[in-house]
Structure 1
């Protein structure tokens, strides 16, 4: 089955790619770190319960904490258990604090190796696969980070009809999923098939960037063998957003406040597919992921196989600038105690932007023209300034996909995306009318 070309969506913008420095760089093991701080609550749910006492020597892949509503935690490398500390990890709303266990005197991270399957997942039933997915420390890596087995159960209850593996990666600089698909594409496709079998869906799609099609030609055979349709989308930001993918590929509009599950589609990422295959088929737990290190300035650029708990700041070494977790359009600015987790696809060093003063809106309409959710962004911004939350609700502020396009194109340098997102959060938590200062005082001009 050849790569099929699909159409696009209304709105969006063309961004500079900025991927040239890492796009062709193979995945390498991350530099050895003396201490790892492995999060005990990497996703939604309470922290895991420690199983080994402080001072115990553990080997790579050994279970060190048992799930208490979240996921099991495994040692990424050989090392000695240290004390419990507090770290920051990526979450659906930016960052969150999590307890973590120190792993000291750790060994060198091993490269990604081809593993021999020990479980015949093709002959297994859907129930057996779902039982297996409950282990291995498997979590989703995009959006609302949660245990993979819980995500599968929610999709099963929603009676999904198709599953989409999202490898579009529209953000500048980020190339981690691209390199994963180029070098380990067969395992990603098998992992997609495993998750699809657990969801009991028959239609499987693999969505990629149209500019990278030639590099994925070698996966056509593996995709055909697993009955996966490979589709290419035009390069336009934010093409990788879940709701937009479902709208373009599944022809379904996700209602406000709902998920893609509610329209019969499940969207998963390449990293989770890869981890699912290696756990279900090879019994290798999820303890690391590919992280792109790039940006502006001098630093060791590349795509690195990085253990969970690695310090993000140390990956940039002595680079000066602002550390950004994820892409620059919808980033998470984190403190010095940020560590790598399942949702950390990139650690970037970007120049600190000069301080700018917002000016009055010139009514150009660019924010509305380029909004992929087709929102009246300026109207919502006016409602923000006036504190008219009911008006913002009527303008469907809850449909914002938080892509940052409106702030990017605004010639008045207004924090439009920040305003809309804060109103969206408020509508989810406190729907009554409030003063603008209660929303986000820094965003006011």
Structure 2
């Protein structure tokens, strides 16, 4: 599976700062020093309806991570999956009378278009669950043969009790986990499971549903969590720098994935930091496909909203905060974009050397994009009011906003 084209990232004078970021597992901020190649895995879409503002906000957060690392003169090894076979996708295809593969391909293509328009830097490896199945089957077999998994009516389940570190990612107690498991794709009430929280690794073939050769597992398809583990281990290995996604992935997805990997390798941790973006609401409720309260990037683009304004709307909220999309949020972003473009359109201006460092410091401090925007606002206000004589300043501001915030002026 191919990703989308990369926009050029301008080089800035000097060097950026190491990223200090909130780690869900520890509940505090840690400084990441990845070495010459930073490694990040971000969980991708289930392509039955893409791309709403909740998606866009999440991928914007991890795009900022990449930009901060690139500014420190590191390379970035970024991997993202596509869950192109899963219950919600199959259910939507049946509801709409569509072939599930055509639905997945269409929505994945739309996602690529949206990411390109928003200038999100693409992953080096963009892997679908279906194409990962040949690598998933041996991992499930290894877990089963090691006693970390068991069969139940043809399905194979992972035993969470086999991992002494289970629970460290989300920090939740068993009761909270059980509730979220039921809400987020698990089956804690299924009879015969060793532990209600045990997640499925391999689902035996069901009538009317797609299935693949699972070797000794029999025909079936993979569970959700093992998909990402197989892809991450194949392309990044253990101990990569950031596992990222929306805050609703901390449990069960990232918790289970960490345990799968740790049981497979005997190593800990799966990722050095677990980073989660907040949820975006509309009309007082979390934006979600199940509720149908979605604002789509593609719909805004069809209405001729500048993608740079959409990106500024996302950047105006801290990535970890829960916030609500409103017409005013977009109107403020459109106005900000116009102000910034007016400021950099002048032939000379106020020195921008200090501004570059302000933006760098804000983003290095747990991706504080609102603080970075405020710094550019102050420069633009003075520039539009008084101006200056530095001929290189407008260009430097444009390159800074492009390189670090992904906004083309």
Q: TM-score range by the shorter chain?
A: 0.3 to 0.5
Higher relative contact order (Cα pairs below 8 Å, separated by 6+ residues): 2
Q: Which has the higher helix share?
A: 2
Taking structure 2 as the reference length, the TM-score comes to: 0.34
The structure where strand makes up a greater share of residues is 1
When the two structures are superposed, what TM-score results if normalisation uses the length of structure 1? 0.32
